[in-house]
């Protein structure tokens, strides 16, 4: 998985704003992953979250996870669909691990929570894919209109 930017001469020649964005995304992804893992592995007192009411939290949490992961990938270079599918698979596996490992702290593993994780991850990934596509088209259109003048 190519989650971290490679140290290449090409990377050293990247414009400073892109390098800053990349570094920000790396820090955000690592921080988010640690906080999310710790948060999902702490015992929750009963009654804090209504039974079944945590599905929205799972969906939103993995949406952010997917968006950060795909955003970092998009900041490196162009990508194709196998890259998106690979990240979806990684997040699905991580979600399963996350659910199963919660049993170690007295919480329960729930298939419905995992489904919310996977759906959220796919939505987060796709939001970034769509943003990249829209921004790429705008850039292409503005370059073409500049050349025609």
Q: Which is more confidently placed, 5 or 82?
A: 82
Note the pLDDT of residue 90.
Answer: 97
8 A C-beta contact, residue 128 and residue 68: no
Q: Which is more confidently placed, 126 or 7?
A: 126
Distance separating alpha carbons of residues 117 and 145, to the nearest angstrom: 42
- For residue 11 the two structure tokens come to 């990377």
Note the pLDDT of residue 140.
Answer: 63
pLDDT tens-digit profile of 48-66?
Answer: 777 667 899 999 999 999 9
pLDDT tens-digit profile of 96-127?
Answer: 999 999 888 888 888 999 999 999 999 999 99
Average pLDDT over residues 70-89: 92
8 A C-beta contact, residue 117 and residue 91: yes
Note the pLDDT of residue 144.
Answer: 56
pLDDT tens-digit profile of 24-34?
Answer: 999 999 999 99
Note the pLDDT of residue 79.
Answer: 87
pLDDT score of 67 more than 70: yes
pLDDT score of 20 more than 50: yes
pLDDT tens-digit profile of 125-149?
Answer: 999 999 999 988 876 665 555 555 5
**Distance between alpha carbon 17 and the CA centroid of its chain, in Å?**
21
């Amino acid at each position: 998985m190519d989650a971290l930017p490679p140290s290449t001469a090409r990377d050293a020649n990247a414009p400073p704003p892109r390098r800053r964005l990349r570094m920000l995304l790396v820090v955000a992804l690592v921080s988010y992953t640690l906080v999310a893992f710790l948060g999902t592995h702490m015992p929750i007192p009963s009654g804090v979250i209504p039974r079944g009411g945590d599905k929205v939290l799972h969906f939103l949490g993995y949406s952010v996870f997917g968006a950060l992961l795909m955003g970092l990938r998009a900041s490196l270079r162009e990508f194709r669909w196998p890259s998106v599918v690979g990240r979806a698979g990684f997040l699905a596996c991580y979600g399963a691990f996350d659910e199963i490992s919660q049993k170690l702290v007295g919480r329960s593993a729930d298939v419905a929570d995992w489904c919310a994780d996977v759906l959220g991850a796919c939505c987060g990934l796709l939001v970034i894919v769509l943003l990249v596509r829209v921004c790429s088209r705008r850039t292409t259109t503005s370059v073409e209109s500049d050349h025609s003048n």
